[in-house]
């Protein structure tokens, strides 16, 4: 809606809406960080449990079944984390795109300018880097599962 159709408080309401949307973006980024911390703590705790089981040195089928189960659980958690990272990445991008669109009606295009500078400096998306972490954890849990299967059947 343009200023003419909206009325006299267009600029005031646009600025309030823009400020509110920036706050929502910050909260989304905070939720993203909290989500990543949750997965890191969960997978690290699972890793600690596996370490204790391995040090217990009772290599038999029960331990291998238990390690296999924990490996599969770890892999599943890594998949969920990976999906979460992608989802938060898309959500964050949509919010930034919306803010860049909103700021076209403001005096200075701060997010647009920032984005142009980032692209010029060959910025690497945080989401691309973030996706590597669950993959790295997943490799460990895949190796653990494979090791357990090998011990059980070969």
pLDDT 10s per residue in the chain (154 long)? 677 778 888 888 889 999 999 999 999 999 999 999 999 999 999 999 998 888 876 666 788 899 999 999 999 999 999 999 999 999 999 999 999 999 988 888 888 899 899 989 988 888 899 999 999 999 999 999 999 999 888 8
In the prediction, which pLDDT does 59 show? 60
- What's the pTM value of the predicted model, to 2 decimals? 0.86
The whole-number pLDDT of residue 63 equals: 85
Sequential DSSP letters for the chain: --HHHH-TTHHHHHHHHHHHHHHHHHHHHHHHHHHHHHHHHHHHHHHHHHHHHHHT---SHHHHHHHHHHHHHHHHHHHHHHHHHHHHHHHHHHHHHHHHHHGGGSS--HHHHHHHHHHHTTPPPHHHHHHHHHHHHHHHHHHHHHHHHHHHH-
């Amino acid at each position: 809606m343009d200023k003419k159709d909206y009325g006299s408080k267009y600029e005031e309401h646009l600025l309030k809406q823009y400020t509110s949307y920036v706050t929502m973006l910050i909260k989304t980024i905070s939720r993203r960080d909290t989500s990543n911390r949750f997965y890191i703590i969960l997978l690290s705790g699972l890793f600690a449990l596996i370490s204790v089981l391995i040090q217990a040195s009772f290599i038999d089928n029960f331990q291998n079944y238990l390690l296999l189960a924990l490996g599969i659980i770890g892999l599943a958690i890594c998949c969920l984390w990976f999906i979460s990272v992608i989802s938060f990445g898309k959500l964050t991008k949509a919010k930034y795109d919306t803010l860049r669109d909103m700021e076209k009606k403001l005096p200075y295009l701060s997010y647009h300018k920032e984005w142009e500078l980032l692209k010029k400096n060959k910025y690497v998306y945080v989401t691309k880097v973030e996706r590597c972490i669950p993959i790295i954890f997943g490799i460990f849990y895949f190796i653990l599962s494979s090791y357990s299967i090998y011990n059980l059947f070969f």
